[in-house]
Amino acid sequence: MKKSSLFFTLILALLLGLLVSRGLAQAPPIREQLVYSLSVFDGKTYTKGFAPRGEDTIYLIANENNAVSIRYTLVYFWPITARYMAGFKTLNEEVEGTLELLRDGKVIRSLEKEDNVVFYPEGYFAENSKMYLHEEAHAFLQKYEYATKEYYARIDEYYEKTREYREAFEEFLESIGERRKAGEELSRTQVEAQMPKQPSPPEGVRFYTTPVAKDYILNLPQGTYQTRLRARDGTIVQDSQKNLVAFVRRRGGTIGYEITPGNRWTMKESSNDPSKTIYASGKNTLYLRPFLQDEYNDLYYKKLLDPQNVGTSERWIWVHTTPIKNALLDLLSKGKLLERIERAPYYVKQIPGPELGYEILEYKEEEFPERSPSFEGHKLEVSSVSGRGKYDFRLEKGEGEVMDGSEREILFVRKENTNLLHIISIFPLIVGVVVFIQRKRRAS
């Protein structure tokens, strides 16, 4: 009887599991929607996104170029991220018409599509970019296409020189072998001097320009607006009405730091307030990256990055914008200068093996051919300042010119007596056990 009931329970659990997994595996419902496709300026570069039908407000930084297009696509809700997703690869139909900009219910501007590109002066994955319009857009695209064409021509030339080098190297080896067989003594220096020189690969194109796109360009002063799309037949396209908020920063031009601990590469932290102390412990290496920063409303900025984000209108956040490159990092103790640290490139190398890890190495082009630096920053080694006590650092630009707002205090915490902290944390538990035993004895 017990065996049959156990068997029945297992079968029931298996069926329930299959039903649940089948329910989870069902594709979410997909619906065709009119959406706003966005390429918005986030203070340093351009962020792409879309506003589904359920989001009735778009947020943009005022007085900056932002690109908008209106399209039909497939939209579905993805429970894992709790967000609506767009299937632009399946359906991406652009809706033609005139984008009307309204304020207080009155049309103040009618927009037609304009040619635009986004230019990345330090490459596509760099931290800054700029949008260009009309003739400038085509000029920057031509500049990129010409540089790319020249690069591929140099690549072809490099391949031809490499082929010639291999042939010459084989002939060189044969010649050296024959000379040694003939009894000629050749030193290593003589061999290296006569060895053919291997050609170096050409340097790639460092900048990037996107293809020319045609979008509605919104560059608006601070304020609240409404948008809608008027079709070619004069009617308003259904579901095309949106509210629009153009906002500005509250404060700007101050200095913030991105701090990367050497033993926790993926756990970056920020120091945006000069009045707050930075804490570090143990023997570690800190990589400091200084930025100019702007302060934005939390709700507005998060909605800018993604209209489906959630933010708090009462909060303000700092946004790192432009990296500060031409400056030295001064490390001080009690006002005395200990070290001046230059900005340098570094490469993050994955460590092979069963335990995934990484190693941060100083970047040298000859050691990492055909690879770019992972990041640039100022390297502060805790061991170089004895790893304990209070210190200060600041940015120095020019000869003795300290940058305002760059001062920070850093406190290195000793780890030798951390066991005492564990004992202290257990103390309340010990007191609770003693009280419990005493009350139990009294009750008995």
Mean pLDDT value of segment 165-179 = 90
pTM for the model stands at 0.80
252-268 pLDDT, tens digit each: 989 999 998 887 777 88
What is the arithmetic mean of pLDDT over 98-113? 96
CB 322 within 8 A of CB 291: yes
Q: How far is CA 317 from CA 45, 67, 300, in A?
A: 17, 24, 10
* pLDDT at 20 (0 to 100): 45
CA distance linking residue 73 with residue 90, whole number of Å? 8
Question: Domain check: are 288 and 397 in the same one?
Answer: yes
Q: What is the 3-state secondary structure (H, E, C) of the chain?
A: CHHHHHHHHHHHHHHHHHHHHHHHHCCCCEEEEEEEEEEEECCCCEEEEEECCCCCEEEEECCCCEEEEEEEEEEEEECCCCEEEECCCCCCEECCCEEEEEECCEEEEEECCEEEEEEECCCCCCCCCEEEEHHHHHHHHHHHHHHHHHHHHHHHHHHHHHHHHHHHHHHHHHHHHHHHHCCCCCCHHHHHHHCCCCCCCCCCCCCEECCCEEEEEECCCCEEEEEEEECCCCCECCCCCEEEEEECCCEEEEEEEEEEECCCCCCCEEECCCCCCEEEECCCEEEEEEEEEEEEEHHHHHHHHCCCCCCCCCCEEEEEEEECCCCEEEEEECCEEEEEECEEEEEEEEECCCCCEEEEEECCCCCCCCCCCCEEEEEEEHHHHCCCEEEEEEEECCCCCECCCCCEEEEEECCCCHHHHHHHHHHHHHHHHHHHHHHHHHHC
Do residues 255 and 244 both lie within one domain?
no
* 355, 296: one domain: yes
Which pLDDT value is given to residue 19?
A: 45
CA distance 112 to 96: 10
Cβ neighbours of residue 194 closer than 8 Å, sequence gap 6 or more: 172
Confidence of residue 178 (pLDDT cuts 50, 70, 90): confident
pLDDT band at 366 (very low <50, low <70, confident <90, very high): confident
Asked if residue 3 is part of any domain, the answer here is no
432 lies in a domain?
Answer: no
* Domain-located, residue 228: yes
Q: Between 306 and 443, whose confidence is greater?
A: 306
For residue 334, what pLDDT is reported?
86
Residue 261 inside a domain? The answer is yes
One domain for residues 264 and 302: yes
Residue 226 shares a structural domain with residue 338? no
CA atoms within 13 A on the CB side of 93: 8
Identify the domain containing residue 364 by its residue range. 251-416
CA torsion sign for 349, 351, 356, 362 is negative
Q: Are residues 176 and 138 in the same domain?
A: yes
Amino acid at 417: N
pLDDT at 424 over 70: no
Gap between the Cα atoms of 14 and 28, Å rounded: 24
Same domain, 94 and 175: yes
137 and 77 in a common domain: yes
User: 172 and 264 share a domain?
Assistant: no
Q: Residue 2: what pLDDT?
A: 46
Q: Residue 24 falls within a domain, yes or no? A: no
Using an 8 Å Cβ cutoff, are 126 and 118 in contact?
no
Find out whether 60 and 303 touch, Cβ atoms under 8 Å.
Answer: no
Domain count for the chain, please give it: 2
61 CB burial (10 A radius; 0-12, 13-18, 19+): buried
Please give the pLDDT value at position 194: 86
pLDDT digits (tens, 9 = 90+) for 130-154: 999 999 999 999 999 999 999 999 9
Last residue within a domain, chosen from 230, 248, 266? 248
- Do 363 and 256 lie in one domain? The reply is yes
Query: Are 255 and 384 contained in the same domain?
Result: yes
User: Encoding tokens for residue 407?
Assistant: 């001062």
Asked whether residue 341 carries a pLDDT value surpassing 50, the answer given is: yes
List residues bridging with 320 in a β-sheet: 293
Q: How far apart are the C-alpha atoms of 317 and 310, rounded to whole Å?
A: 14
Same-domain status, 262 and 211: no
Calculate mean pLDDT across residues 349-363.
77
